[in-house]
Chains A and B, each alone.
Chain A
Amino acid sequence: MNRISIIRAQAIFMSPAVLAATLLILPPLLYVFYTSVYGPALSLAAYGQVLTSKLFRQTLTTTLVVAGLSSLLSLLLGFVVALHLARQPARRRAFLTVLVLLPFWTSVLVKCFAFTVILGREGIINSMLSWIFGIKIQLPLVLNMVGLLVGMTNFLIPLVVLPVLASLLAIDSAIYRAAAIMGAKPARIFWTVTLPMSLPGLLAGLLSIFVMSLGAFIVPSLLGGPQDQMLSSLVAFYNREVLDWQKASAISVVLLGMVFIFAAPLALWRRRKLKA
């Protein structure tokens, strides 16, 4: 092949995207790093102050707990949905997949708004309970951990269903028939075939929604209480309220570091799968 004509074509095809990546994606990240160490002078002071502050430690704990709980819950519920979808004939599966895709593309703001209405003191759940029991019930379901987890789960389930469904559909259906013919009951088939064969997909799904929820901002802001805020909210707080960009940047770098620690195995796994 002719080197020069290939290089020229490559320049034409790739340069807009490369330009966008190098002028719009890279500089903001570098700016965050730069701002985190450059105050009056070059120092790691902001990191020291952030890492030792009680507020940060509390928020970090909340972030890990909320991200962990909501991803596990979403994985479990998403797996149930994926198993159900995988069992359906193709036509019905296509229809049901739309039911998962639609929430996937629905604005997170719409979801948060809906859950304030559903879970509020005068909301749908409390009204229903009041009507059932004949007394006024006003359970605190929103602006606390409950509301936050409900919102996060609702947001994350569609993200986990599609990849897990793909890994379930990749299992050759003849294996199920073979297992059944050899005398395995459904529970045994599930534990010996379905689960082990979809386990890599499940773990990858879990890791990816965990990484995603580490950076959650809208849902905790709107459905969580003041004590349930996550690292993103802290970034926003330092940026918009305190106007301390150095600390905001330092927290961003820590958050970025956490994301990369958990995303790295995922990237490695994807690359290995791509090669296989």
Chain B
Amino acid sequence: MRDETVLGRDTAHAIALTGISKMYGLVTALHPTDLSVDKGEFLTLLGPSGSGKTTLLNLIAGAIGPTTGTIFLDGRDITQMPPRDRGIGMVFQNYALMPHMTVFDNVAYPLRARRQPASTIRAKVTEALERVGLRGFEDRKPRQLSGGQQQRVGIARCIVYSPAIIMMDEPLGALDKNLREQLQSEIKRLHKELGTTIIYVTHDQEEALNMSDRICLMSAGQITQLGTPDELYFQPRNRFVAEFIGESNLISGRTNGNGQLMIAGNRSIPVPAGGWTDGAELLVMVRPERVQICDMDEPVKEGSNVLSGEIGTTSFVGGMTRVTVQTENGLNMTARMVSGRAESRPQAGARVRVCWSSSDMVVLET
């Protein structure tokens, strides 16, 4: 057994949660969870709504108290500490700026709460506004700003008092796509410049993949997988992760002892590495961009899996074209390929072969 207290008190982590859980009456919002975040790390809590990511965020911020467990901030137990003493910053989805205060007063708010001298306040607020590119907006009221500008004020208000951790609760959720991408890179830049630990909540998987050092994927009140964006994308643990992040082809089958996996229509493909016992039921995933579509007469590379079939639909979505193939043995495979012009794209009904390399197959937990 490990000593959870000692684990939490380790000051290498910016924050550590041990056995933290939250129940509302008989409803479990968060099952007992351990999580630690390194100093300077950008960690994203990703998951569908109701997965417990906002509960986790609120527990860390102190908006709600945990049912069980302990929260350590830089080695200190803060479980019973009121939010104002935690020294955590938070950026809200709806900005939560004080409508009756100017931009300057909004950003100065945390400093005034800490009774800092006026000269320090002026200097720090100016610097924070500089960082988010809002110099010259000091005297505006929030309602005179665009959504993107309001959220920059929200970020400035956070970085101005250098909190140990900044929490961002779907900060870009209310903005349109272009603005969102622009602010994503600004937040990344600020993270690099300031070196602050950031815990970021989103339900947008692309945002999570783009920004995070690590992603904590949650569902049904618990952590499903915690890892780097690469790990989550290329080595998803189970079906939920595979389907939530990116698109996937799932193939189920049974090993037969000859190093073959028996799949639909009595076809067999080589079993992926992993020392499986005979007769094991496996669920295998291949990402669509690793699936290639070849003409019937094209030579096939050594070590490839090949199934022949017929093109079902093609959908052209800009740089990529998504093609579905109905294979002869009854599978529905999706492939993603770099788009060509209409005449060079596969036509519905054409007979083709789909191929993918054995090394691109990932076995999922079932």
Residue positions of A touching B, CB distance < 8 A: 1-3, 5-6
- Enumerate chain B residues within 8 angstroms of A6, measured Cβ to Cβ: 82
A177 to chain B, nearest CB (A): 31
Most chain B CB within a 10 A radius of its CB, from A1, A3, A5: A1
Report, nearest first, the 9 A-B pairs whose CB atoms are least far apart: A2-B82, A1-B65, A5-B82, A2-B80, A2-B81, A1-B82, A1-B62, A3-B80, A1-B80
**A253 → chain B, closest Cβ, in Å?**
40
Contacts of B80 in A (CB 8 A): 1-3
Residues in A with CB closer than 8 Å to B62 are 1
Q: Other CB < 8 Å A-B pairs besides A1-B82, A1-B83, A6-B82, 6 of them?
A: A1-B62, A1-B65, A1-B80, A2-B85, A3-B80, A5-B82
* CB nearest to B80 among chain A residues: A2
Give the total of B residues in contact with A, Cβ under 8 Å: 8
CA distance A1 to B82 in the complex (A): 5
A141 CB to closest chain B CB, in angstroms? 55
Determine chain B's interface SS by DSSP, over half rule. loop
Q: List 13 A-B contacts (CB under 8 A).
A: A1-B62, A1-B64, A1-B65, A1-B80, A1-B82, A1-B83, A2-B80, A2-B81, A2-B82, A2-B85, A3-B80, A5-B82, A6-B82
Cα of A129 to Cα of B62 in the assembled complex, Å: 74
Q: How long is the Cα–Cα vector from A1 to B59 in the complex, in angstroms?
A: 9
CB proximity to A under 8 Å, residues B111-145: none
**Residues of A with C-beta under 8 A to B65:** 1
Give complex CA distance A6, B64 in Å: 13
A6: nearest chain-B partner, CB-CB:
B82
Residues of chain A contacted by B64 (CB below 8 angstroms):
1
Alpha-carbon separation in the docked complex, A1 to B66 (Å):
9
Quick one: CB contact mask for B54-85 with A, threshold 8 Å, 1 for yes? 00000000101100000000000000111101
Closest to B84 in A: A5
List of A residues within 8 angstroms of B85 by Cβ: 2
CA distance A3 to B62 in the complex (A): 12
Quick one: closest A residue to B82, CB to CB?
Answer: A2
User: Could you say which residues of chain B place their CB within 8 Å of the CB of A2?
Assistant: 80-82, 85
In the complex, what distance in Å separates the CA atom of A5 from the CA atom of B80?
11
Complex: chain A residue closest to B83, CB-CB: A1
Chain B window 79-93, contacts with chain A (Cβ cutoff 8 Å), 1 for yes, 0 for no: 011110100000000
Among B249-295, those with CB < 8 Å from A are none
B10 CB to closest chain A CB, in angstroms?
Answer: 24
From B62, B65, B82, name the one whose CB has the most chain A CB atoms within 10 angstroms. Answer: B82
Among residues of B, the one whose C-beta sits closest to the C-beta of A9 is B82
Q: Would you give the shortest CB distance from B86 to chain A, in whole angstroms?
A: 10
Contacts of B83 in A (CB 8 A): 1
| Chain A proximity of B114: nearest CB distance (Å) | 17
- Chain B positions 27 through 50: 1 when the CB is less than 8 Å from some CB of chain A, otherwise 0: 000000000000000000000000
In the bound complex, CA of A38 to CA of B21 (Å): 57
Contacts of B82 in A (CB 8 A): 1-2, 5-6
How far is the CB of A61 from the nearest CB of chain B, in Å?
49
